[in-house]
């Protein structure tokens, strides 16, 4: 019996407590504090609440501040109009599980299910997929810690006990003012209907927050969204690059602008671009497509290109190849519906056979509906290989060392997605889709089940 208890202690420590300590105290694989002057982050957990969240939104609007709301999926289901207002007023929405339950008490499959269910709810209401996650009580299990299911985990640098009504507005005000400084990530709660919280506690939080926002205005501090704070961090980090690499990156981005202008590339999502494209004719070898047709020379295609600046930003904030792949996968998933809608809406795109790109992806694109083919040997394949290796050395966290580790695997490939697959998977489901695409294929991709892809870059032929 004693041996069994000892083993249970070891297992629970390895599964829950050790990942929690490493992330909470050392910040490994999580974001919990910024460093850029002039800004801090207000984050709100457990909502939306039909009484207090609207009051909070009114207060933030009055002071011109932005916040990040980590919402509980079951609460969002009951109050979709509040979630929509949060989104429409420019605040960031993240996931706080479907029910407010610790990840220490759930199996990995249960956590993934909670994430997926809440992700779908947010997407249905706002039309955008969330990319940030705060587990309830900040408790991570081993699989959250090790695999990071595609969401960037956000913790906090200060918390104030605002879930207890006895703390009171005066004590909260004093505690919050002591922590009111640049880079701080403050944890507050706009709902008191979770275990251990008092239902009326947010009322005291709102009184204290008004006082703190008034003080922030006097100190010329602004509350910004977590994603904006992380962008500031990346920009600050990019300034620390060596002089030679800064020159290389500057020239690279200058070339990007010239390339886009010369080839008249368009952007799928101008507000946050990842995929650029142009209408062109295919010039490669014949490829058999999944719908039984063939892609031949002269057929019209949309040629895809990743955004170089976005790739560099992803590489700058990622500490591993896995993190780069996850962020790229999510960005592509975000842009493909916009590309599909353009194909439906614009007459000049109605004759295209599919999407086309050249890349170094070795695993993963098939899950999106792409066909992966070897690039025929020759001058184009050789020059593409050199270019993509240069790109990888710039954006990858390991730089040149990554090239030495796996040069044999980094061979350029051709990616093709038949137009029917694009429309069936990613376009709005209406009668035009059935006419253009034929039969339905799989529903939206579940990133939790995706194999990870190597860093990729599209290049024209």
Query: Catalytic residues, which ones?
Result: 45, 189
Q: Which of 227, 134, 130 lies closest to 189 in space, CA to CA?
A: 134
117 token code pair: 């269910």
Which residues 6+ apart lie within 8 Å of 253 measured at CB?
308, 309, 312
Phi, psi dihedral angles at 166 (to 5 degrees): -70, -15
Q: 187 pairs with which residues across the strands?
A: 43, 159
Q: What is the DSSP string of 418-440?
A: EHHHHHHHHS--SHHHHHHH-S-
Residue 95's DSSP bridge partners are 71, 133
The tally of CA atoms less than 13 A away on the side-chain side of residue 142 is: 9
- Residue 116, both tokens: 């997926």
Q: Helix, strand, coil: what percent of the chain each, to 5?
A: 50, 15, 35
Q: Torsion angle of alpha carbons 287, 292, 297, 301, nearest 10°?
A: -100
Q: Where does residue 281 rank: exposed (0-12), middle (13-18), buried (19+ CB within 10 A)?
A: exposed
| Residue 349 DSSP class | G
d(CA 447, CA 152): 13
Q: Are 367 and 451 in contact (CB under 8 A)?
A: yes
Residue 415's DSSP bridge partners are: 357, 372
Taking the CB of residue 339, how many other CB atoms lie within 10 A of it? 22
Which residues are bridge partners to 267 per DSSP?
Answer: 276
* Bond from prior residue into 61 cis (ω within 30 degrees of 0): no
Q: What does DSSP assign to residue 72?
A: -
Distance CA 295, CA 44 (A): 51
Phi, psi for 182 (deg, rounded to 5):
-60, 135
């Amino acid at each position: 019996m004693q041996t069994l208890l000892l083993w249970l202690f070891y297992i629970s420590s390895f599964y829950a407590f050790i990942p929690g300590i490493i992330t909470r105290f050392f910040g490994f694989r999580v974001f919990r504090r910024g460093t850029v002057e002039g800004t801090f982050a207000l984050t709100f957990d457990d909502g939306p609440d039909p009484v207090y969240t609207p009051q909070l939104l009114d207060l933030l609007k009055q002071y011109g501040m932005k916040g990040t709301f980590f919402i509980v999926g079951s609460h969002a289901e009951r109050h979709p109009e509040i979630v929509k207002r949060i989104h429409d007023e420019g605040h960031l929405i993240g996931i706080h599980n479907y029910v407010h339950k610790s990840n220490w008490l759930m199996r990995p499959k249960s956590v993934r299910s909670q994430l997926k269910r809440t992700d779908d709810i947010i997407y249905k209401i706002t039309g955008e997929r969330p990319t940030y996650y705060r587990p309830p009580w900040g408790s991570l299990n081993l699989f959250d810690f090790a695999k990071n299911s595609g969401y960037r985990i956000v913790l906090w640098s200060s918390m104030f006990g605002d879930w207890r009504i006895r703390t009171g507005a005066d004590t909260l005000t004093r505690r919050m003012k002591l922590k009111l400084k640049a880079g701080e990530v403050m944890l507050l709660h706009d709902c008191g209907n979770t275990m251990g919280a008092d239902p009326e506690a947010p009322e005291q939080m709102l009184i204290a927050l008004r006082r703190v926002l008034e003080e922030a205005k006097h100190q010329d501090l602004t509350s910004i969204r977590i994603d904006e704070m992380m962008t500031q961090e990346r920009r600050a980090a990019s300034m620390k690059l060596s002089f030679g690499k800064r020159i290389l990156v500057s020239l690279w981005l200058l070339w990007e602008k010239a390339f886009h202008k010369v080839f008249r590339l368009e952007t799928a999502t101008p507000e946050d671009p990842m995929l650029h494209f142009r209408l062109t004719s295919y010039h490669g070898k014949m490829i058999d497509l999944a719908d039984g047709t063939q892609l031949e020379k002269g057929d019209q295609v949309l040629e895809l290109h990743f955004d170089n600046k976005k790739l560099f930003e992803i590489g700058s904030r990622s500490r591993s190849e896995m993190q780069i792949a996850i962020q790229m996968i999510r960005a592509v998933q975000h842009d493909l519906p916009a590309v599909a809608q353009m194909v439906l809406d614009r007459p000049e795109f109605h004759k295209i056979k599919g999407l086309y790109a050249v890349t170094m992806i070795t695993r993963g694109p098939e899950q999106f509906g792409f066909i992966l083919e070897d690039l025929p040997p020759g001058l184009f394949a050789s020059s593409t290989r050199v270019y993509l290796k240069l790109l990888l050395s710039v954006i990858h966290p390991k730089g040149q060392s990554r090239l030495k580790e796996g040069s044999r695997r980094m061979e350029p490939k051709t990616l093709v997605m038949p137009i029917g697959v694009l429309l069936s998977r990613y376009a709005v489901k209406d009668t035009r889709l059935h006419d253009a695409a034929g039969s339905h294929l799989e529903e939206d991709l579940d990133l939790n089940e995706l194999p990870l892809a190597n860093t990729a870059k599209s290049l024209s032929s």
